Amino acid sequence: MLSALVAGLATGAVFAATALAYNVMFSTSKVLSVTTGHLPMLGGVAGAYVIAGLGLPWWLGLLAAMGTGALFGLLTELVAIRRVLARSDEHLWLLSTLALATMVQQAVGLWWGTEPRPFPRLIPQDFSAGLADQKFWLPIALAVAMAGGLELFYSRTMAGKLFVAMSEDAFAARARGIPTDRIRVASYALAGALGGLAGFAAGQLTFAYFALGLTLTLNGFIALAVGGLGSNVGALIGGFALGLLNALASYWFGGEYQQTIAVGLLMVVLLVKPEGLLGSKQVRPV
């Protein structure tokens, strides 16, 4: 039972980290990009390739994971977001980001292969460590650090305050001279780097696997919706709650009910508290 809980928390941490990446991009563009789950996938694959494939030290693998994520974030903004937002208020970004997500997944599958590959051990530790194994606590620690770091970033730094300003009212921010386009580009690069970092930290748990992206896109979105869109603490709570619920559902009822219960949780939260646990209510002035 305890092993199920710890594994659930660790898996939930990956969902939470994905939800945090959603939040960073959403704050500046109001877009929920389908490519979000592919950021950790790319981080895991890049890290495994650099460390295990090229035999380079772990810190270069970390840089590669974050760099690949940041580059893909920039590409997403350039290819799937910028022109769509400039031309239309409709939710066409759903299609453009879905297309890009599919393309990157296929490209990674062709290059990396379609079978999961191992992610190297980052810290010397025996495999008999049980629940203290780094594959569990690395993603948990990272998700908590990411949420805390983002809170500090938004409240203590000028760049973070610009993100918040854009999040509250992009038109007003632009009217006050904030370079909203550049801020949006920066937010996608930041989300990419954080997503890549999450994939790196969780690599031992998930393996380096090309098809991980869409699973994380879905579960990260559920975590975000449950926790409350825009809230980093909410994303953390939503991710952990979803991971635990998945683990407990699988433990008590079997894996066939896992997804049903996860999506059921989303439905219940949306019915009872549509803004999520910690989301702010949107009030339309009339």
Partner 1 sequence: MFHLLRLPRKLAASLALACIATLAQANDVIRIGWLSSLTGPLSSAAQAENQGVQLAVAEINAAGGINGRKLELLTRDTAGDPTKAVNLAQQLAFSEKVHFIIGPVNSGEGLGATPVIARAGVPNLVIGALEELTDPVKYPRAFRLINTNRQWISTANNYALKTLKRSRIALIGDTTGYGTASAKTATEMLEAAGVKPVYTVLVDPNKTDLTDELAKARAAGADVIMPWSAATGLVGRLLNARGDMGWNVPVVGHTALMAPQIRKLLNKPEYWENVVAAGYASTTFGADGKLPPATAALMEKVRSRIAPGGGEIELLFWWVAMGYDCVKVIEHAVKAAGGTDPAAIQKALENTRELRGVFANYSWSPTDRNGFPDGDMVPNIANTLRDGAFKLAR
CA atoms within 13 A on the CB side of 140: 17
The torsion angles phi and psi of 117, rounded to 5 degrees, stand at -120, 155
Q: What's the angle, vertex CA 231, arms to CA 72 and CA 229, rounded to 5? A: 70
Q: Between residues 89 and 256, which has the closer beta carbon with respect to partner 1?
A: 256
Q: Between residues 9 and 150, which has the closer beta carbon with respect to partner 1?
A: 9
Q: Between residues 14 and 278, which has the closer beta carbon with respect to partner 1?
A: 14
Helices H / strands E in the chain, number of each:
13, 0
Instruction: Assign 35 to helix, strand or coil.
Output: coil
Task: Give contact residues for partner 1 (rule: CB under 8 A).
Answer: 1, 3-4, 7, 10-11, 109-110, 114-118, 127-128, 130, 133, 135-136, 205-207, 209, 211-212, 215, 246-247, 250-251, 254-256, 258-259
Q: Between residues 1 and 286, which has the closer beta carbon with respect to partner 1?
A: 1
Instruction: Assign 124 to helix, strand or coil.
Output: coil
The torsion angles phi and psi of 201, rounded to 5 degrees, stand at -65, -30
Report, in Å, the least distance between residue 125 CB and partner 1.
11
The separation between the first and the last C-alpha atoms of the chain, rounded to the nearest angstrom, is 52
Q: Between residues 114 and 280, which has the closer beta carbon with respect to partner 1?
A: 114
Q: Between residues 153 and 251, which has the closer beta carbon with respect to partner 1?
A: 251
Using CA atoms, how far apart are residues 107 and 214, in angstroms rounded to an integer? Answer: 14
Cβ neighbours for 176, distance < 8 A, ≥ 6 positions apart: 165
Report, in Å, the least distance between residue 252 CB and partner 1.
11
C-alpha torsion sign, points 214, 29, 25, 151:
negative
Q: Between residues 205 and 237, which has the closer beta carbon with respect to partner 1?
A: 205
Report, in Å, the least distance between residue 269 CB and partner 1.
21
In the chain, what is the greatest distance between 2 CA atoms, to the nearest angstrom? 63
Report, in Å, the least distance between residue 46 CB and partner 1.
18
- In one-letter notation, the amino acid at residue 69 is G
Q: Is 122 within 8 Å of 101 (Cβ atoms)?
A: no
Report, in Å, the least distance between residue 242 CB and partner 1.
13
Report, in Å, the least distance between residue 137 CB and partner 1.
13
DSSP 4-30: HHHHHHHHHHHHHHHHHHHHHHHHHH-
Report, in Å, the least distance between residue 220 CB and partner 1.
14
